[in-house]
Structure 1
Amino acid sequence: MAEAAMKTAGTPPAVSSKTEGPLRETWHSFRRNKLAMIGLFIIVIFILLGALAPLIAPYSYKEPQLLDRLKPPSGDHWFGTDDVGRDIFTRVIYGARISLWVGFFSVIGSVIFGTLLGILAGYYGKWLDMAISRLFDILLAFPGMLLAIAIVAVLGPSLQNALVAIAIVNIPAYGRLVRAKVLSLKTEEFITAARSIGMKNSGILLHHILPNSLTPVIVQGTLGIATAIIEAAALGFLGLGAQPPQPEWGKMLSDSRQFIQTAPWTVIFPGASIMLTVLGFNLMGDGLRDALDPKMKN
């Protein structure tokens, strides 16, 4: 028995799976969601296609080849060619760069400014809350697409101005979300304890309020990328986004709409790219929401 006791005492305690960090736990929960993993796979594919476009693309995305005008899909041109002979597969994978760039950076801009304004409004309240909330109300009073069109019309049609317009339009969505979260957080006991030990407001905001407000913003931001891609495509379709010869998917649809019946491949592949990318972000966003929501965990 003494030997057994010694062996027992010398055996290190088993490490419980519950000691996993929050990031690993979130990843395990996310990975169990098959639809979320499909969404992630779709997004990774489009990111790789865009990043490796110069290596993958068989042709130039901007040089016209009039002799190859409106050729159907074949071994030489997998997605066919457009009305000036450019390879549609090449333009689609280069277009992934533009659409994802607009989606990511417009959402980053919206998240930064929306989170900042939402934290200030929710934490300090009073006249500052009233001013920021009225600003959000003014922006939300206009239909998002019409406001984006108006901003681009003032700034001038270009991809960069379309990105700015999309970012401005979506600021209230993140601002109001963060404001509501901050209003509930600032009454919590740990915030009261931080104040009681003399922690400054800047420290409370940086170390307590901001980290605890990020979960809904991450989920909304993932879903917001899909919305931003659609809005960028809409602006491009109207001629207010990317300008020729940039291969933006919405602009490709606009340029090909007159060939829907005679050359449907010119519309199908850019449209399918928009649909798949948006679907991927929506599936991944839903998976993140379920993984980060404690109520959804067993």
Structure 2
Amino acid sequence: MNANGQTADVPVEAVLRTPPKRSVWVDAWKRLKRQRAAMVGGSLVALFIVIGLLAPVLAPYDPTAQDLSHHLQPASAQHWLGTDEAGRDELSRLLYGARISLTIGFFSVVSSLIVGALLGLVAGFFGGWADVLISRVFDVMLAFPSILLAIAIVAILGPGLFNALLAVAIINVPTYGRLIRSRVLSVKQEEYVLACRALGMSNARLLFRHVLPNSWAPLIVQATLGIGTAILDAAALGFLGLGAQPPSPEWGKMLSDAKDYISNAPWIVAAPGIAIALSVLGFNLFGDGLRDALDPKMK
């Protein structure tokens, strides 16, 4: 209504126009950017990823080249982080170790996520004997400490980098399986899922088009946190001699080789230890921030 008391003509388009809906992920990213701890964690994660990808360019020396005449040397202009017991450049081995540790972390989490998600989908959606069987297998696996189960798997398969990756992937399957199962049990009771059932939609289409996409958020958060745990588990296996084998520059193996020289050459222990701590810290901080950003209660 205008100043003269007459009704103003409003275009129909203006009445019907509704503000565009923003994506859930866009809103989550905006909330994530406001969390300083998460941004610090994300920066650490990005730094280690860049280091791993550019290791051949950044490393000043061959990480496996030995020079016994310059072993256990402290930091210098030629070797910024010193040399180890075999005269190998510590900085080069640390940079290449980032590639190995991140590879184990990413691929083990992706593998366990795929297998666990599929098993959890079947258990939660179909229920019955499938749910009982899968849930009992998960319970048995979770009854053992994860690192003890990983050691047992590697002891059966034999030491090696691939077997360590496989063991870390196997021990994390129940975590993702139980998480997706609990989420599916909730989602399948939603009205839109019941409507799709009433319309005769197939189980496969219902699972992968509606149930799984609405169950991804907690899985992504857990996967982000799980990468840090996987790096730590792989380092533990490497420290015990069950992971990467010499002369592979894996952080856990570097710690194992350096433990006998901690008193007279502490730098060869400090470098891989700090790298493991910072990488795990980065993924944990970023995962915690991502969890809060994707939580609808935090809006």
Q: TM-score range by the shorter chain?
A: over 0.9
Structure-2 separation of matches of 1:169 and 1:98: 19
TM-score (norm 1): 0.94
* CA offsets 1:219-268 (integer angstroms, 9 cap, x no match): 00000000000000000000000011110000000000011111000000
**Partners of 2:118 and 2:197 in 1: CA distance:** 21
**Residue in structure 2 matched with residue 31 of structure 1 by the alignment:** 33
C-alpha distance in 1 between matches for 2:111 and 2:295: 25
- Tell me if 1:260 matches 2:240: no
Q: In 2 relative to 1, CA 130–246 (structure 1 residues): closer, same or farther, beyond 3 Å?
A: same
Alignment correspondent of 1:226? 228
Corresponding residue of 1:108: 110
| Amino acid aligned to 1:82 | D
- For the residue of structure 2 that corresponds to 1:105, the secondary structure is helix
Any idea what SS the aligned residue of 2:174 has?
A: helix
Report how far residue 6 of structure 1 moved.
Answer: 10
Q: Distance in 1 between matches of 2:9 and 2:279?
A: 57
The equivalent position to 1:289 in structure 2, one of 283, 288, 291, is 291
Q: 1:40 aligns with which of 38, 42, 49?
A: 42
> CA 1:164–1:8 in 2, change beyond 3 Å: closer, same or farther?
same
Q: Secondary structure in 2 aligned to 1:19?
A: coil
Query: Residues 248 and 187 (structure 1 numbering): CA distance in 2 closer, same or farther, change over 3 Å?
Result: same
Residue 121 (structure 1) aligns with: 123
CA RMSD of aligned residues (A): 2.1
Corresponding residue number in structure 1 for 2:212: 210
Alpha-carbon shift at residue 73 of structure 1 (Å) = 1.1
Alignment of 1:232-271 (within 5 A): 232-271=234-273
* 1:20-59 CA distance string (max 9 Å, x none): 2222211111111111011010011111111111111111
Counterparts of 1:17 and 1:23 in 2: how far apart (Å)?
A: 17
What amino acid sits opposite 1:102 in the alignment? I
TM-score (norm 2): 0.94
**How many residues are aligned here?**
294
Name the amino acid aligned to 1:236.
G
**For the residues of structure 1 that align with 2:14 and 2:188, how far apart are their CA atoms?**
42
Distance in 1 of aligned mates of 2:24 and 2:18 = 14
1:177 equivalenced with 2:182 (yes/no)? no
Shift of 1:19: 3.0
Larger deviation: 267-276 or 134-143? 134-143
The verdict on how the C-alpha distance between 1:67 and 1:203 changes in structure 2, with shifts beyond 3 A counting, is same
What residue in structure 2 maps to residue 196 of structure 1? 198
Aligned to 1:275: 277
Rounded to whole Å, the distance in 1 between the matches of 2:203 and 2:70 is 65
Matches of 1:135 and 1:260, distance apart in 2: 42
Change (3 A) 1:197 1:8: closer
CA distance in structure 2 between the partners assigned to 1:39 and 1:16 by the alignment: 37
- For residue 98 of structure 2, the aligned residue among 72, 96, 99 is 96
The whole-number CA distance in structure 2 between the counterparts of 1:145 and 1:54 is: 31
CA distance 1:175–1:6, change in 2 (3 Å): same
More displaced 10-residue stretch of structure 1: 165-174 or 68-77: 68-77
Residue 85 of structure 2: aligned partner: 83
Q: Which residue of 1 aligns with 2:76?
A: 74
What is the deviation of 1:77? 1.0
Instruction: Give a deviation string over 1:110-167, Cα, whole Å, max 9, x none.
Output: 1001000001001110111000011101111211111111111111100000000010
Letter in 2 for 1:251: K
The 1-side partners of 2:26 and 2:75 are apart by 44
User: Which letter maps to 2:110?
Assistant: I
Equivalent residue letter for 2:191: E
- For 1:295 and 1:72, the matched residues in 2 are separated by 52
- Uncovered stretches (5+) of structure 1, i.e. residues with no partner: none
Percent of aligned pairs with the same amino acid: 56
